[in-house]
Structure 1
Amino acid sequence: MPTVLRIGSLRVVIYPNDHRPPHVHVIGEGCEAVFNLNCPSGPVEIRENHGFSFKRALAIARALEENLAHLCEEWRKIHG
């Protein structure tokens, strides 16, 4: 599970054997969430949230959107 981005103490990962649509898993702080990227232009949408507060999840989504081009490129590299 390659870490493709760090947001503070959080790891943003893409699983090599995962499925479409393009998405990332955000892991850390004892929590995990899955965000759909909606490549190439977003918006990033939360699909699953296990433990992050609503406010924290929104902040993560904003950080992912700031890095959307990079994340979509990483998804493409891993999944074609």
Structure 2
Amino acid sequence: MFQFLKQGLPTLNTEEDSDEGVRDLVEITFKRLDFDHDGRVSLNDFLQAVDADPLLLGILGPCFPDEKVS
């Protein structure tokens, strides 16, 4: 996820700032998805998190491959 987000963020002043921003985004996203707070994101965590906040699907949509792509 880190590499995906790093490529998608606008360039900041330094590479270190960019990495820190990406790490922050990954941490925030992980905390939102880890619904049972066990340090892992299971399918059940994901489903509960998306059910509680449907906007998460919009945020994560580009991360999922299209079924038509082989």
Provide the TM-score with structure 2 as the length reference: 0.34
Structure of larger gyration radius: 2
More helix by share: 2
- Structure showing greater relative contact order (alpha-carbon pairs closer than 8 Å, 6 or more residues apart): 1
More strand by share: 1
Provide the TM-score with structure 1 as the length reference: 0.31
